[in-house]
Amino acid sequence: MKVLLAGDNVSGLAEELKKFGPDEIAVANSDQLADYTTESYAGVLADYIKQENPSLVLLGHSAIGKDLAPRVAARLGAGLVSDCIKINVDGGDFSFVHPIYAGKAIATYKVNSAVKMATLRPNVFPIEEAEGAASVVDFAPEIAASRTKVKEVIQQAGDRPELTEADIICSGGRGLGGPDGFGLIEELADTLGAAVGSSRAAVDAGWRDHQAQVGQTGKVVSPNLYIACGISGAIQHLAGMGSSKCIVGINKDPEANIFNVADYGIEGDLYKVVPALIEKLKEVNG
């Protein structure tokens, strides 16, 4: 296993990577790689793959991975399976498991090109450390100029974790009754160090930015804990969070579909339940 580490001033990260046990770490260090741009990075990765000729290339299904992998795959004529939740290895043969229809079905793919590529869903594969004394080598290809220029990077306000990477997500829906209700969800999230999500209904009502939307036409998440407050549990929403390890549903409607999937359900007014829950969590956390 070899790792390509690309960026500007990233040599120091090689040490970090060693503890995950790769055989070799190639470092492409250049000020031309300071910003992520598709074309410059695609050139570096494609050149590295051509040099190494691996049977399998893996990237994260992150914003960068999603942008980069198909571009490189098209350049190299490699088959690509995106957003994998599992890779089966059978002898020298791989098969790739990728949820389709936003998780309403699970598909297994085979790739018939010599180089096979896949992007991996964040938060799904366990991270394990391994013994290893990887050698660190320089990789200095000619870097293609990028026609796109990054003018500005805007960090999301606040220090809550990114939805797709959060261990815990607290989400609100139509049951909040209005945009102000998200104040309570944010308070709960901050008590747990969680990200804040939203149902489509709340986004469509203009209560929350679409970046927070969880579901078929929003983000697909798989946290350890998903707390749905005032969310009925429409099929599109379940498609986005159904693979969460543990689901808690808080809803005043006993017929709400969320109770059909929740590990723990509380039937009641969220404006009573959530404040009490925040109190209790604070008490437990000391």
Q: Applying CB under 8 A, which part among 2-10, 15-23, 124-132, 254-262 lies near other proteins?
A: 254-262
Q: Does 260 bind other proteins (CB under 8 A)?
A: yes
Whichever of 30 and 95 has its CB closer to other proteins, that residue is 95
Whichever of 5 and 163 has its CB closer to other proteins, that residue is 163
Q: Which residue has the tokens 């939740």?
A: 85
Q: According to CB under 8 A, which residues from 7 to 36 bind other proteins?
A: none
The token duo for 204 is 């469509």
Q: Which of 9, 15, 50, 101 is in the footprint of other proteins by CB under 8 A?
A: 101
- Whether the Cβ atoms of residue 123 and residue 164 lie closer than 8 Å to each other: yes
Q: Which long-range contacts (CB under 8 A, 24 or more apart) does 46-53 make?
A: 46/72, 46/75, 46/76, 47/141, 48/4, 48/139, 48/141, 49/76, 49/78, 49/115, 50/76, 51/139, 52/2, 53/114, 53/115
- Whether the Cβ atoms of residue 261 and residue 247 lie closer than 8 Å to each other: yes
Q: Does 240 bind other proteins (CB under 8 A)?
A: no
Q: CB of residue 199 vs other proteins: minimum separation in angstroms?
A: 14
Closest CA to 47 of 139, 120, 123: 139
Q: Does 43 bind other proteins (CB under 8 A)?
A: no
Q: According to CB under 8 A, which residues from 267 to 286 bind other proteins?
A: 267-268, 272-273, 276-277, 279-281, 284
Q: According to CB under 8 A, which residues from 179 to 238 bind other proteins?
A: 192, 209-211, 213, 216-218, 220, 224-225, 235-236
Whichever of 28 and 220 has its CB closer to other proteins, that residue is 220
User: Which amino acid appears at position 229 of this protein?
Assistant: C
Q: Which of 53, 90, 91, 105 is in the footprint of other proteins by CB under 8 A?
A: 105
Q: What one-character DSSP code corresponds to residue 20?
A: T
The Cα 119–Cα 201 span in angstroms is 30
Q: Does 73 bind other proteins (CB under 8 A)?
A: yes
